[in-house]
Amino acid sequence: MAVQNLQIDPQRLWDTLMLTAQIGATPKGGICRLTLTDLDRQVRDWFKAQCEALGCTVSIDEVGNMFACRPGKNEGLPPIAMGSHLDTQPTGGKFDGTLGVLGALEAMRTLHETGYQTNAPVEIVNWTNEEGARFAPAMLASGVFAGVFTPDYAYARADRDGKTFGEELQRIGYKGGQKAGAHKFSAMFELHIEQGPILEAEGRMIGVVQGVQGMRWYEVTVTGEAAHTGATPMRLRKNALIGAARMIERIDAIARQHPPNAVGTVGLIENKPNSRNVIPGEVFFTIDFRHPDENVLDAMEAKLRSALAELLPPLQLGYNETRIWQSPPVKFAADLIECVRVGAAKAGFATRDMISGAGHDAVYVSRVAPTTMIFVPCAGGISHNEAESTSLGECAAGAQVLLNAVLEFDRRLG
């Protein structure tokens, strides 16, 4: 059977996306399905059952990564993986991560119903805690898989309520016996929405992803002195929130000093004691810096630390700053990128070479296996938002190119 004759079912893929979107559905049309919650367990159980119905063997490693494997003609070859994640942001959309898993499921369903036999085994991966919304840092379990983090480091990550990753993984029943990283891939392809506006603006259907920009996350605590708002003169105040506000503005300015690729964001703020008649005594906030060049990230980090030392002591404020995570820029595998180009050409779609602005599990997997990504457009470039949207046709295009690329790579292995 010729590779190009295998056609995914667009409506079945769309129906599956809409079905799973009900698990954690929000009133505004998005999904809140945080890592290792009961809703995460529910979607995992559903995914496992769907894969087993296709004759796949589902295994789970010690940090909850799920691998659904379909045998190939040559069991001596490591599997070709397709995958992404099923966890979401607190106000996440229906497609971020989920499309990569369910597009892979649709590709697997197509292989199953046509009886097509690949040379290598083919499998779908659901990576744990890609978002980092509940347990920082992001891409945690793919990081353990790649040897970037230890399992114990992952188990000790705590959410804002003090619950740990290890406890919650055990609680939902997804702490597997397989050692993370023991599972080897011939390659991994990750399908994803772009999470940016470029493909839509240029009228291209498929982004051929060359790599991912570097990322660094920081946590800062500014300490002042809580005091009565009415009884404390302005000149004697040690207002931690004023210091934090000036830093937030400076962080934005630092990113703007490195156009066009640098971005800098303060996304999480906790003000204490958070009372209307108490001067804030402590503020915690996070910083996210990204750029494709490590040297620029070094410069941004130096400016951040200089700003803390410049702005806070004159306000009689102390501070503590920690870089909690960094992910260097990544270049994907040239032969896999070529397979995506071939797959898109066979499907008749216009492509564009791209660098990913967002982090993905493919970032860490690329350290231990040949890896690449496939992007499809999303409306207005909006993601990490309940309004995140893409079309049936765009989802289907991504899944078709994913299947084509996997089969092209498998043909070359054979």
Local confidence pLDDT in tens for the 414 residues of the chain:
444 479 999 999 999 999 999 999 999 999 999 999 999 999 999 999 999 999 999 999 999 999 999 999 999 999 999 999 999 999 999 999 999 999 999 999 999 999 999 999 999 999 999 999 999 999 999 999 999 999 999 999 999 999 999 999 999 999 999 999 999 999 999 999 999 999 999 999 999 999 999 999 999 999 999 999 999 999 999 999 999 999 999 999 999 999 989 999 999 999 999 999 999 999 999 999 999 999 999 999 999 999 999 999 999 999 999 999 898 899 999 999 999 999 999 999 999 999 998 889 999 999 999 999 999 999 999 999 999 999 999 999 999 999 999 999 999 997
Rounded to whole angstroms, the Cα distance separating 96 from 384 reads: 7
Rounded to whole angstroms, the Cα distance separating 385 from 388 reads: 5
| CATH superfamily assigned to domain 3-213+329-413 | Zn peptidases (3.40.630.10)
CB atoms inside a 10 Å sphere around CB 11: 9
Question: For the chain, what's the residue count?
Answer: 414
pTM confidence score: 0.84
Residue 328 half-sphere exposure toward CB, CA atoms < 13 A: 7
Which residues have a Cβ under 8 Å from the Cβ of 169 and sit 6 or more positions away? 36, 63, 64, 128, 155, 175
Give the model's pLDDT for residue 346: 97
Rounded to whole angstroms, the Cα distance separating 349 from 103 reads: 17
User: Across the strands, what pairs with 124?
Assistant: 68, 82
Residue 313 DSSP code:
G
Angle, vertex CA 230, rays to CA 228 and CA 233, nearest 5 = 90
CA dihedral 362, 97, 396, 120 (to 10 degrees): 40
Give the model's pLDDT for residue 2: 43
Nearest C-alpha neighbor of 278 from the set 311, 307, 239: 239
Determine contact, residues 19/41, Cβ cutoff 8 Å: no
Q: Which sequence spans correspond to the domains of the chain?
A: 3-213+329-413, 214-327
Nearest C-alpha neighbor of 390 from the set 131, 189, 192: 192
Burial class (CB in 10 A: 0-12, 13-18, 19+), 41: middle
Q: Which CATH class is domain 214-327?
A: alpha beta
Which residues have a Cβ under 8 Å from the Cβ of 17 and sit 6 or more positions away? 94, 95, 98, 99, 102, 395
Rounded to whole angstroms, the Cα distance separating 33 from 364 reads: 23
Give the model's pLDDT for residue 104: 98
Chain centre distance of CA 306: 30
Determine contact, residues 388/94, Cβ cutoff 8 Å: yes
Determine contact, residues 381/200, Cβ cutoff 8 Å: yes
CA separation, residue 68 to residues 93, 220, 221, 376 (Å): 24, 40, 42, 24
Q: Pull the structure tokens for residue 35.
A: 């890592």
φ, ψ dihedrals at 188, nearest 5°: -135, 130
| E-state strands within 233-313 | 263-265, 269-272, 278-279, 282-291
- Say which amino acid occupies 390: T
Burial class (CB in 10 A: 0-12, 13-18, 19+), 314: exposed
